[in-house]
Every structure is written in structure tokens, then in C-alpha cells.
Amino acid sequence: QEAGGAMSRFPLIPVQGVPLMNHIADNWDSVRAFEPHPSDLLIATYPKAGTTWTQEIVDLLLHQGDPEVCSRGLDLLKVMPPPRVIKTHLPFQLVPEGFWKNKCKVIYVARNAKDNLVSYFHFDRMNQTQPEPGPWDSYIQKFMDGKRYWEEREKNNILYLFYEDMKENPRREVERIMRYLDLSLSDDVIGRIVELTSFKAMKENPMANYTFIPMVVFDQTISPFMRKGEVGDWTNHFTPEQSRLFDEDYGRQMKSSGIPFRANI
């Protein structure tokens, strides 16, 4: 969530049918032409699926568990030496070709749609650079299908993770990421990384909890960035009727996707 100086609630701009924030849509040519180094790592997610959590795990794995300041953003990227850890919310078809051409490692994080939507709703309430979420009942329509990363995961060697798995057994998932990155760290270091990336630790970590973003951009008095960090919070938001309608629509849009999502653990 780059804070590109946008202080008002700009509408999103469609690029190939995908609504993007204006500073990305306006720079689309340079985003498209971005040439990653083959050693660069891409972390791709639907917003609010667990991006920050995964970034923190990857950063710590790459620094042997040493908490370290990490800088992000396209301008910085160009002057940083590879390997670089790059984050995107772009759907598969909009990711710069270079990532696939250069066979970069790609980690995708997915989260069950109902929790993801609840998290996004609260985020849109506090993120002043996003359009107003409006009432919850109509916000539920916002869900967009997404299955390309799942379909492409084998062909493009994408590590496909689930938020729910990370909650259920963080150590197992940290080790999975470690192996994918061809790293081998001691049990102690892995344990330390698991602790440093717990919800509680990250909520209290000023480098991870986004309190460094000014309040005019992220008004965390409305809803904190590190909000709940749980699986199943959707049950506190969806009425049974909303849940039923959502499941119907989901069934239509995600028909036979085969993605083994879990809405409870």
C-alpha cells in the first residue's frame, strides 16, 4: 500500500478491466516494462490476504532472523541491488512478463474470501487513499474471482500459500518458505522467526504495524492495520443470509476452481 502522496479518496482506474490505484494506472507503461533480475522474489497477493506477514517472514529468512529495516517502493527498487523482494497485488495477467520470462521465484498468498473481504472492508474504512467502502451489505458485492495464480502455480513454479495454513501451523509454513528460497536455517533461528512474525509481535513492531504511515493516509484510530489476525472473523460480520448469498455467488464465480480454501480452522 504505497502512500504515493495521494491524500484524498481517489477513485480506482481500470486497467484491462482491473481497478487499480491511480498512481499505478498512471505509471502503467513503466510498471509493465519493469525488468526484474532472475534472483528477484515476487510476493503476490490479493490485498489483505496476508501480504505483510509473508513479507516479514521472507525478510527475516533472508536475514537469518535478524530484524532489519526494509524499504519498499518502485523508485527504491531501481537502485537496490538484486535479489530484491517485491510485493504486488496485481492479478496474474497484469504481472510484468519479465517475472515469468526470467523464472523469478514467486510466492502467492491466498486467504478464504469471507475473511479476506472483512479485512478489506476495515482497511478501506481507515485507508484514506482508497474509495470509501460504503455500507457492509453492498460492500459484499466487491468480491472478484481470482484463480489464475492457482492455475499457473505448477507451470511457473509459484509457491502457493494459504493464510489459514500459516495460522494453523506457522512453523511448518515458515519452513516451507525457507525450502522454496533454497535456505537452510537452524531450528533456533526458525523458532525465532516464528516468534517475531506472530500476530502479537507484529502488532507491537513499529516497522511492521504501519504506524510509520501518517494518520492522514492510514487512520488507525478507525481500524488498526494489525486488526485481528484470525481465521473465521467473517462469522462476526456476515448475517446467515449474507453468507448464503455470498456462497452462491462464490460458487458461480469460482466454479470448479479446486482451490482448497478453509473458512474455519
Active site residues: 89
Q: Which residue's CB is nearer to ligand A3P, number 198 or number 235?
A: 198
With a CB cutoff of 8 Å and minimum separation 6, the contacts of 209 are 202, 203, 224, 225, 226
Note whether 41 and 85 are within 8 A (CB).
yes
Q: Which residue's CB is nearer to ligand A3P, number 102 or number 205?
A: 205
Q: Which residue's CB is nearer to ligand A3P, number 98 or number 229?
A: 229
Note whether 116 and 48 are within 8 A (CB).
yes
65 binds ligand A3P (CB under 6 A): no
Q: Which residue's CB is nearer to ligand A3P, number 69 or number 79?
A: 69
Backbone phi, psi, residue 2, to 5°: -70, 140
What CA–CA distance (Å, rounded) separates 87 from 202? 18
The interface region with ligand A3P, picked from 20-28, 40-48, 75-83, 149-157 by CB under 6 A, is 40-48
110 binds ligand A3P (CB under 6 A): no
What CA–CA distance (Å, rounded) separates 126 from 224? 8
Backbone phi, psi, residue 204, to 5°: -90, -10
What CA–CA distance (Å, rounded) separates 237 from 227? 14
* Interface residue with ligand A3P, options 43, 44, 45, 165 (CB under 6 A): 45
Note whether 222 and 126 are within 8 A (CB).
yes
Give the Cβ contact number of residue 192 at 10 Å: 17
Among 100, 98, 117, residue whose Cα is nearest residue 46: 117
Beta strands in 29-125 (DSSP E): 41-45, 85-88, 105-110
Q: Which residue's CB is nearer to ligand A3P, number 30 or number 198?
A: 198
The interface region with ligand A3P, picked from 4-12, 97-105, 152-160, 220-228 by CB under 6 A, is 220-228
Note whether 61 and 183 are within 8 A (CB).
yes
Quick one: how many helices (H) and strands (E) in the chain?
Answer: 13, 6
91 binds ligand A3P (CB under 6 A): no
228 binds ligand A3P (CB under 6 A): yes
* Interface residue with ligand A3P, options 31, 49, 94, 95 (CB under 6 A): 49
112 binds ligand A3P (CB under 6 A): no
The interface region with ligand A3P, picked from 44-52, 59-67, 91-99, 252-260 by CB under 6 A, is 44-52
130 binds ligand A3P (CB under 6 A): no
2 binds ligand A3P (CB under 6 A): no
Q: Which residue's CB is nearer to ligand A3P, number 33 or number 215?
A: 215
How many residues lie near ligand A3P (CB under 6 A)? Answer: 20
The interface region with ligand A3P, picked from 20-28, 145-153, 193-201, 214-222 by CB under 6 A, is 193-201
- Which residues of this protein are in contact with ligand A3P, per CB under 6 A? 45, 47-53, 115, 119, 122, 197-199, 202, 226-229, 233
